Chains A and B, each alone.
Chain A
């Protein structure tokens, strides 16, 4: 493994949050100039290496084009024991609908969500707030809701533009 890849591996292992190729390039360049494009190539190779070796962790591009290590799903029960946490409950259909509405129309109020769904959305919205998938963006009335970075991370979404039907929606829906 090249020194550049080793440094990248060390940086991503120690990073408290996903890191962008731009930032990795800037850090690497303190020793020797490495372009962002080169960093991306190295990261892709490193990710492929982890896959080939069937390691328990994978290197992946996550939200906002940033990179991070993630454990593979099969090891979840053990990690949950380590963290003494229960497997999180699956989102209800209503909560998924509300999340989709917030993702496309953010920021918007609860009344807007209720109008779109034709039904009261307080309960699903509260569950999304509790799971930190949505947050309020203002301090005045009415509260406006938007998705969080946690939402992108938890759902493995690189960008909101990657959501399905995005290109088909009318401008008013975006």
Chain B
């Protein structure tokens, strides 16, 4: 297939490779699969150079370029003679098209939601404001910073002596860990801290959980108590 030379496009609010792909196809009025990898990568490299002081964005752009290389290289593979051997992943153009169609739908819905948000912003319900019990308290009664440090050191030592660890592909974010703790607290009012720091957990997960607990304490959504001191 001959690919037309596409001109460079300016993209406001760059949000990913699919954006670039859509813009290139739309501006040049060609099918999505007709967009060349060269155009795509040069566009992404331009974005990369423009954002040379933003490491995260730069890393994303590199990852996206790698993804596009994978998609395009798949499209260059010969088509199998026996259609029964065709697997969904062996149909890159179809896969790419479906991906783009999905993305276009979600982007359109996102725009609609943004409009709804605009329409509904600043409209208050006649609802009783949720009062958080103990609001205003520091919630560190019977707990010194050294208690927390001792606790963390203990669990990390226990974890280190529990043998080799396994790396998981997905790592909890602090926000996710906070949600997880809040879910737990919705069903149980008192949870032993050790439950979040047992030896089957990865060190990274434990650190994320600790940060989540500290954040929840700061937001006054949880209270951590040293029971030994309370009962003393």
Contacts and interface: CB of A to CB of B under 8 A. Distances in A.
A76 B120 CA distance: 11
A57 B113 CA distance: 23
A143 B125 contact: no
B175 A119 contact: no
Contact of A153 (B18, B99, B125, B170): B125
Contact of B121 (A57, A88, A130): A88
Contacts of B108: 164-165
Contacts of A72: 123
A101 interface: yes
A171 interface: no
A12 B176 CA distance: 35
Contacts of B179: 129, 135-136, 143
Interface string B87-120: 0000000000001001101111111111011111
B175 A129 contact: yes
A135 B179 CA distance: 7
A48 to B, nearest CB: 18
B60 to A, nearest CB: 6
Interface string A91-103: 1111011111101
B31 interface: no
Contacts of B112: 100, 163-164
B122 A69 contact: no
B95 to A, nearest CB: 12
A161 to B, nearest CB: 13
Contacts of B183: 135-136, 139
B204 to A, nearest CB: 12
Given A97-B107, A97-B110, A122-B173, A117 B127 contact: no
Contacts of A96: 110-111, 113-114, 117
A98 B121 CA distance: 19
A143 B172 contact: yes
Interface stretch (B9-17, B73-81, B157-165, B223-231): B9-17
Given A90-B118, A96-B113, A118 B175 contact: no
B11 to A, nearest CB: 11
Given A98-B110, A100-B112, 11 more contacts: A69-B126, A73-B121, A93-B110, A94-B13, A118-B64, A119-B64, A120-B63, A136-B180, A155-B116, A163-B109, A169-B105
29 contacts: A12-B126, A15-B126, A17-B127, A57-B126, A68-B126, A73-B121, A76-B121, A76-B123, A77-B122, A87-B121, A90-B121, A93-B13, A96-B111, A96-B113, A96-B114, A100-B109, A100-B112, A109-B170, A116-B102, A117-B15, A117-B18, A118-B67, A119-B16, A136-B176, A136-B180, A143-B172, A155-B116, A165-B105, A165-B109
The 8 lowest CB-CB distance pairs between A and B, nearest first, are A76-B122, A119-B16, A96-B110, A100-B109, A69-B126, A97-B110, A136-B179, A100-B110
